[in-house]
């Protein structure tokens, strides 16, 4: 497992500014994204949280890095009292508009917040969730400490994120592709890293699932172009980078060619259920 800094050439403030720019420009694309809006993992998140807590009705829930608001909406529909937090104001605006449109009476509260410094009192929540976002955090261990702080004893966290393999070559290739594709990507870590770091702050792993998620290449690659670059040009650059990887790395990433360009890639995803010690 590695503890190297995911962005040694950028300060935490520079990382946060880059995230705000990237996700501010892509806010509506994330709301509409098929991979974020749907998926069995979204259903599993709600189901597993409800099982661990004996139901979600009336439970205080916090969705960190809410993005398009899809998890917040699903939790609210299950009866939870939801606070949705995100670092990017434009993303919060898009998420709030989406949630209000889908469920006008959901009562979700939206907060601008850094995952590593949450603006909530200790022991405020029964449930914390974070889905497909932690690889953007400049200090994921600070995030885990904050989760422990805001959870009540016996509270639950459900963490879903892309993970990297333990194999050094494949780990580097996976993260390199993500950094080329997404200017805000910092680091995807192996599952064992998350389990160990969570345990170190008092979050016990009570359930773990691993699965592969295929990405339609063009929609995925065009979602986060750097400033001043068109989505099509960015996707072409990402495709050139992927084609330049070793055959072993391309196989790991499931790079599939349609004959007219890359059709899809895949990522391994972890669903981790953690419980704060009483």
Asked if the structure places residue 16 within a domain, the reply is yes
pLDDT at 34: 62
CATH number at residue 44: 3.40.50.150
146, part of any domain: yes
- Look at residue 24 in the predicted model and tell me its pLDDT: 54
Alpha-carbon span 266 to 220, nearest angstrom: 11
Q: Answer yes or no: is 79 within a domain.
A: yes
Does residue 132 belong to any structural domain of this protein? yes
Is residue 196 domain-resident? yes
pLDDT of amino acid 149 = 99
**β-bridge mates for residue 260, sequence order:** none
Residue 235 lies in a domain: no
Q: What is the pLDDT along the chain (278 residues), one digit of tens a residue?
A: 333 333 446 677 776 666 666 665 555 666 656 666 567 899 999 999 999 999 999 999 999 999 989 999 999 999 999 999 999 888 899 999 999 999 999 999 999 999 999 999 999 999 999 999 999 999 999 999 999 999 999 999 999 999 999 999 999 999 999 999 998 899 999 999 999 999 999 999 999 999 999 999 999 999 888 889 999 999 999 999 999 999 999 999 999 999 889 999 999 999 999 999 87
What range does the domain containing 121 cover? Answer: 12-164+184-215+268-276
Look at the chain and report how many structural domains it folds into.
1
- Token pair for 107: 């009562």
CA-CA distance, 130 to 134, in Å (whole number)? 7
SS3 190: coil
User: Rounded to whole angstroms, how far apart are CA atoms 156 and 203?
Assistant: 9
Distance, CA of 129 to CA of 46 (rounded, Å) = 10
Q: Say if 246 falls within a structural domain.
A: no
Sign of CA dihedral 268, 7, 21, 130: positive
Query: Which of helix, strand or coil describes residue 60?
Result: strand
DSSP assigned state of 226: P
For residue 76, is it within any domain?
yes
């Amino acid at each position: 497992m590695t503890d190297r800094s995911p962005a040694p050439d950028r300060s935490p403030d520079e990382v946060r500014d880059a995230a705000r720019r990237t996700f501010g420009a892509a806010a509506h694309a994330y709301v509409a994204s098929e991979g974020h809006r749907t998926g069995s993992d979204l259903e599993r998140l709600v189901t597993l949280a409800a099982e661990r807590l004996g139901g979600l009705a009336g439970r205080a829930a916090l969705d960190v890095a809410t993005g398009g608001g899809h998890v917040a909406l699903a939790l609210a529909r299950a009866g939870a009292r939801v606070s949705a937090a995100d670092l990017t104001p434009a993303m919060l605006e898009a998420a709030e508009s989406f949630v209000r449109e889908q469920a006008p009476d959901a009562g979700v509260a939206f907060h601008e917040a850094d995952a590593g410094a949450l603006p909530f009192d200790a022991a405020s929540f029964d449930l914390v969730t974070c889905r497909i976002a932690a690889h953007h955090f400049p200090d994921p261990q600070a995030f885990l400490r904050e989760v422990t702080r805001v959870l009540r004893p016996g509270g639950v966290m459900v963490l879903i994120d892309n993970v990297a393999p333990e194999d050094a070559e494949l780990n580097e290739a996976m993260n390199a592709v993500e950094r080329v594709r997404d200017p805000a990507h910092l680091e995807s870590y192996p599952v064992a890293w998350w389990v160990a770091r969570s345990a170190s702050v008092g979050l016990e792993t009570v359930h773990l699932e691993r699965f592969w998620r295929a990405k339609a290449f063009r929609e995925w690659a065009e979602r986060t172009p750097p400033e001043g670059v068109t989505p099509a040009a960015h996707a072409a650059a990402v495709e050139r980078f992927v084609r330049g990887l070793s055959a072993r790395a391309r196989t790991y990433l499931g790079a599939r060619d349609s004959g007219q360009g890359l059709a899809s890639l895949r990522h391994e995803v972890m669903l981790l259920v953690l419980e704060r010690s009483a």
